[in-house]
Amino acid sequence: MKIKLSFRLNGESITLATEPLKRLLDLLRDQLELTGTKEGCGEGECGACAVLIDDRLMNACLVPAAVLEGKNIITIEGYRTTAQFKILKSCFEKAGAVQCGFCTPGMLLAAEALLRQKPKPTAEEVRAGLAGNLCRCTGYNMIVEAVLLAAKEGEGLWSTPVGL
Amino acid sequence: MRNISEAIKRFDFDEKIEGRAQYAADLKDRQMLYVKTLRSEKARAKIMSIKYPPLSPGYFIVDYRDIPGENRLPLVFEDQPFLAVDRVNYIGEPILLVVGPVKKKILAIMQEIRVDYQELTPILNIAEARQRQEDFIFEGKSCFVEYEYEKGDITEVKKKAWRVVEDEFRTGYQEQAYLETQAIVAAVEDQRITVCGSIQCPYYIKEALRQALGWPEERIRVKQLPTGGGFGGKEEFPSLVAVHAALAALKAHKPVQLVYDRQEDISCSTKRHPAVIRLKSYLDDRQRITGREIEVMTDAGAYAGLSSVVLQRMIFSVGGVYNIENLKIRGQAYATNNVVSGAFRGFGGPQAFFAMEMHMENIARALHMEALALKRGYFLRKGDTSTTGGKLQSDIKLAEIVEKIDKISGYSRKRRDYDAADGGFRGIGCSVFFHGCGFTGSGEQEIIKPKVRLRKYRDNTVQICVSSSEIGQGCLTTLRKIVAQVLEIPVEQVQYDYPDSDICPDSGPTVASRTVMIVGKLLYDCARKVKARWQEGEFTVDQAYVYPGHLQWDNEHFRGNAYPEYSWGANVVEVAVDPLTYEVKVLGTWAVYDIGTPIDEKIVKGQIDGGMAQGLGYGCLEVLESHGGRLRQNNFTNYAIPTAVDFPATESGLIDNPYEYGPFGARGLGELSLVGAAPALAAAVQQAIGRRVRQIPLTPEYIMELMDDED
């Protein structure tokens, strides 16, 4: 059985039919062909599939389609068009925070969620904010540096909407 | 001219940060079919029969009868089938594949397949393998390989020994836990097969496909896609996955995608070898260490895989960074009915250095000396010989390395203070170690025979053609930098894409800390030839590896230079152990390395930080145990890898010591940064709790056991 759903995705209104228990992750990757959201574990442990739903960081592998009605969803494909992404991108580059890249989209959205909540985080707060996103390459230090740098360079930016 | 160490933007940065990089699971094709692997549920059994359900059109089952060529994975020993025939040797061994367009339906078909087993008595660990007298799983013997070599005269040393210090250490499994699981896409078109995916070694896969399909190599193309981490886990294992995907594509006449889920990946892919290491050091009447006997045993699992080579690295590393003249070193890789052990960053080094460094700690305690003070007295120096008698011909700056790490970490002072406080549940430890860069012995020449190619175009761009794969370690950037620097052109003028076997010669696998040092040096030499012909317009230059004249290796007796060159390092780890819960909290980590010239400081720092975290995870977090042949942990909930809150940032430094034969003086780094973390951590915990640490990982449960012991 399929249900009809309407929600906002990366700033656009979308209406589609899907199974109510389909994972948001599959909806994005298979039905909507947005593959920037990655599957790392399929059980909410690794954060590779993290997206923003109404500004909250969620693992798309644990979200069934049925709860999406009326929600505002942001994935890396939308987030990469924003001013906030631009700052994070530049800071990830400066800090050398990308290696294999598989955790990166989820990590960026975790950074966005964190900075929105705590625009001037301490290193410990950044670590706590990223603790739901696994990275096996970097040991996290350069990612933490990148987010701290983004807080400084993008001061004020995280109190304004992402514009999606 | 730019300083080559100065960091530049990674060439794979934009597509990765924007989420545009297309990993294997991201490739979509309406035609594409999915593949799932049906695996053994038994540790050891005969397959009596398999009952297949009727299949709807468009669905296929692939088993060993669909293998047109040889059903043997081409590795050191060809003992492992691609798909089981009439017996299985480990839980998770692939038996058959189900192929079709709808995932759910594939799973339903798998539910209906009935495999009838006749169970046999499995060999479940090293101890059982050692006790067993018959009914072995490999060629009528308990070990895949057994090695022994000596240096000096250990018999004489034993006769004159005044004191003996003995230890036994154990290490557990470790899972690579790359964030992207095993993933391969395969398609057949115009009598050719193309296999793309998440891989470290395109030519290993090409060889496996050649063997499985029985096709000439012109009909086989292997391409790497962006790869979400490897750490050795995508060295030999993907050959199996790639052959499975190819067989499915052949049978279905459609492109297929074979992507493991996390549980499947952890349960059946290769792991770091569990090891038992026994060390005996003989001291003379002046308290000098005069000789050692060391025995190394690994659980290699059900098939030989790369266990022989891992064991070699283990026995060539287990002597540590010390010049001890008299040695007897033995090693055995036991065949058990566990998951196959294989390549993992460090490749035998982490087990070896954990054991030797802890052994030196214990000798120091026995002699009432500070450990680092004892170690300093035996440091290898230029002109000394390695455990295999190979002359060490480069400057070895161990004294400088430990001086620097002592300075930045305050190790000596803290060590004294914590000793004075009798532990007080705080401790600090220092490990000193090396990693042999490149293939063991003369393997680069005898086995790999690497080649590189540069193509120069009329527009003055140059294309790098090598089989080195970008797995996050940054080679798309570092190798470009090397070529650009030689040619004195902007790095943007150098092209280098993910390797494609149609374009790139076999420059060897992306393993063994060899990419910058070996492949980079070949590119360096190749680029010099290109430079000499720069005015010629369009042309191609190949460069093949030549075994350097200053090295020699006897692979039969393990005599000579066990590695082309070594990188060196020291780690310090400071801990607090919770006196109630026995949780280990890491308070600080420091690292100093001699890797010759760093080719990109930012990429180097990324390797240092990442290796440290993975090594600390190995030392205290990552528990992976086999019970009855089944791994107890199979997901990221019960197999815990480090998160951002587990360890503090690493303070690191480099020693300036360019390597004469490396590109711009570079040595290897990728593995070195994992090797020393666990021993430094274990030494710190040992000081903190005042009890002998004999195994890793150092879980609260294990520390509680130690605290409850009344020794």
The domain boundary, picked from A46, A78, A110, lies at A78
Using the CB atoms, write b or e for B419-447: b if 16+ within 10 Å. eeeebbbbbbbbbbbbbbbbbbbbbbbee
Q: Which domain holds residue A120?
A: 82-156
The domain boundary, picked from B261, B295, B317, lies at B261
Q: Residue A14's domain is classified under what CATH number?
A: 3.10.20.30
- Contact status of A37 with chain B (Cβ, < 8 Å): yes
- Contact status of A93 with chain B (Cβ, < 8 Å): yes
- Predicted confidence at residue B1, as pLDDT, reads 65
Q: Residue A141's domain is classified under what CATH number?
A: 1.10.150.120
Q: Which residue has the higher pLDDT, A154 or B30?
A: A154
In a domain, A22, yes or no: yes
Quote the number of domains for chain A.
2
The answer to whether B39 and B92 are in contact (CB under 8 A) is yes
Copy the structure tokens of residue B619.
Answer: 């030392």
In a domain, B383, yes or no: yes
* Interface mutation vs chain B, best among A91, A140, A141, A142, most B CBs within 10 Å: A141
* Interface mutation vs chain B, best among A46, A98, A99, most B CBs within 10 Å: A99
**Residues A98, A125: one domain?**
yes
**Residues A151, A102: one domain?**
yes
Q: Residues 471..530 of B with a Cβ closer than 8 Å to A: which?
A: 471-474
Predicted ipTM?
A: 0.98
- Predicted confidence at residue A162, as pLDDT, reads 87
In a domain, A161, yes or no: no
All residues at 6 or more sequence positions from A157 whose CB lies less than 8 Å from its CB, including other chains:
A83, A84, A87
In a domain, B135, yes or no: no
* List of chain A residues whose C-beta atoms are within 8 Å of the C-beta of residue B612: 139
The total number of residues shown for chain A amounts to 164
Q: Are strands B220-224 and B559-560 parallel, antiparallel or unpaired?
A: unpaired
Average pLDDT, chain B: 97
**Residues B255, B113: one domain?**
yes
Copy the structure tokens of residue B373.
Answer: 């003070």
The domain boundary, picked from B261, B279, B313, lies at B261
- Predicted confidence at residue B711, as pLDDT, reads 55
**Residues B66, B206: one domain?**
yes
**Residues A110, A72: one domain?**
no
**Residues B83, B111: one domain?**
yes
pLDDT tops 70 at residue B240 = yes
The domain boundary, picked from B241, B261, B281, lies at B261
Alpha-carbon separation of residue A29 from A69, B27, B402, B509, B523 (angstroms): 18, 10, 50, 32, 39
- Predicted confidence at residue B710, as pLDDT, reads 61
B663-675 residue pLDDT tens: 999 999 999 999 9
- Predicted confidence at residue A161, as pLDDT, reads 87
Query: Do A140 and B609 lie within an 8 Å CB cutoff?
Result: yes
Measured between alpha carbons, how far is B403 from B24 in angstroms, rounded to an integer?
A: 46
pLDDT tops 80 at residue B695 = yes
* pLDDT above 90: percentage of residues in chain B: 98
**Residues A62, A122: one domain?**
no
- Contact status of A105 with chain B (Cβ, < 8 Å): yes
What predicted TM-score, i.e. pTM, was given to this entire model? 0.98
In a domain, A164, yes or no: no
In a domain, A96, yes or no: yes
* List of chain B residues whose C-beta atoms are within 8 Å of the C-beta of residue A130: 643-644
- Contact status of A70 with chain B (Cβ, < 8 Å): no
Q: Residue B41's domain is classified under what CATH number?
A: 3.90.1170.50
pLDDT tops 90 at residue A164 = no
- Contact status of B233 with chain A (Cβ, < 8 Å): no
The answer to whether B692 and B362 are in contact (CB under 8 A) is yes
In a domain, B553, yes or no: no
- Contact status of B461 with chain A (Cβ, < 8 Å): no
The answer to whether B225 and B197 are in contact (CB under 8 A) is yes
pLDDT tops 80 at residue A92 = yes
Q: Are strands A72-74 and A3-9 parallel, antiparallel or unpaired?
A: parallel
**Residues B581, B704: one domain?**
yes
List, in sequence order, every beta strand (DSSP E) within B23-113: 33-39, 45-51, 60-62, 87-88, 94-100
Across the range B351-363, mean pLDDT stands at: 98
A122-155 residue pLDDT tens: 999 999 999 999 999 999 999 999 999 999 999 9
* List of chain B residues whose C-beta atoms are within 8 Å of the C-beta of residue A140: 609, 613, 642-644
**Residues A129, A66: one domain?**
no
- Contact status of A20 with chain B (Cβ, < 8 Å): no
In a domain, B286, yes or no: no
Across the range B198-202, mean pLDDT stands at: 98
**Residues A7, A52: one domain?**
yes
**Residues B463, B596: one domain?**
no
Number of separate helices (H) and strands (E) present in chain B: 19, 28
Query: Do B472 and A127 lie within an 8 Å CB cutoff?
Result: no
Query: Do B606 and A137 lie within an 8 Å CB cutoff?
Result: yes
Q: Which of B606, B635, B643 sits opposite A43 (nearest CB)?
A: B635
pLDDT tops 90 at residue B2 = no
Q: Residue B432's domain is classified under what CATH number?
A: 3.30.365.10
In a domain, B133, yes or no: no
* List of chain A residues whose C-beta atoms are within 8 Å of the C-beta of residue B107: none
**Residues B39, B59: one domain?**
yes
B437-465 residue pLDDT tens: 999 999 999 999 999 999 999 999 999 99
Q: Which domain holds residue B61?
A: 4-120+195-261
Query: Do B18 and A144 lie within an 8 Å CB cutoff?
Result: no
- Predicted confidence at residue B454, as pLDDT, reads 98
In a domain, B142, yes or no: no
B271-294 residue pLDDT tens: 999 999 999 999 999 999 999 999
Quote the number of domains for chain B.
3
In a domain, B139, yes or no: no
**Residues A66, A89: one domain?**
no
- Contact status of B178 with chain A (Cβ, < 8 Å): yes
Across the range B233-258, mean pLDDT stands at: 98
CA of A139 vs chain B CAs: smallest distance (Å): 4
Q: Are strands B630-631 and B626-627 parallel, antiparallel or unpaired?
A: antiparallel
**Residues A95, A32: one domain?**
no
| HEC-encoded secondary structure of B94-107 | EEEEEEECCHHHHH
In a domain, A163, yes or no: no
Give the model's confidence band at B709: pLDDT under 50 very low, under 70 low, under 90 confident, else very high.
confident
- Residue of B169, B455, B151 whose CA lies nearest to B297: B169
- Predicted confidence at residue B29, as pLDDT, reads 85
The domain boundary, picked from A50, A78, A106, lies at A78
**Residues B38, B56: one domain?**
yes
**Residues B641, B676: one domain?**
yes
List the single residue in A with minimal CA-CA distance to B261. A41
**Residues A49, A64: one domain?**
yes
Query: Do A142 and B21 lie within an 8 Å CB cutoff?
Result: no
Measured between alpha carbons, how far is B141 from B335 in angstroms, rounded to an integer?
A: 8
- Residue of B621, B665, B675, B649 whose CA lies nearest to B172: B621
* List of chain B residues whose C-beta atoms are within 8 Å of the C-beta of residue A135: 179, 644
pLDDT tops 70 at residue B180 = yes
Give the model's confidence band at A36: pLDDT under 50 very low, under 70 low, under 90 confident, else very high.
very high
**Residues A51, A97: one domain?**
no
pLDDT tops 80 at residue B423 = no
- Contact status of A92 with chain B (Cβ, < 8 Å): yes
Query: Do B226 and A101 lie within an 8 Å CB cutoff?
Result: yes
Distance linking the first and last C-alpha atoms of chain A = 31
In a domain, A45, yes or no: yes
List the single residue in B with minimal CA-CA distance to A85. B18
Copy the structure tokens of residue A162.
Answer: 């992402």
pLDDT tops 80 at residue B422 = no
The domain boundary, picked from A29, A59, A78, lies at A78
Query: Do B17 and A133 lie within an 8 Å CB cutoff?
Result: no
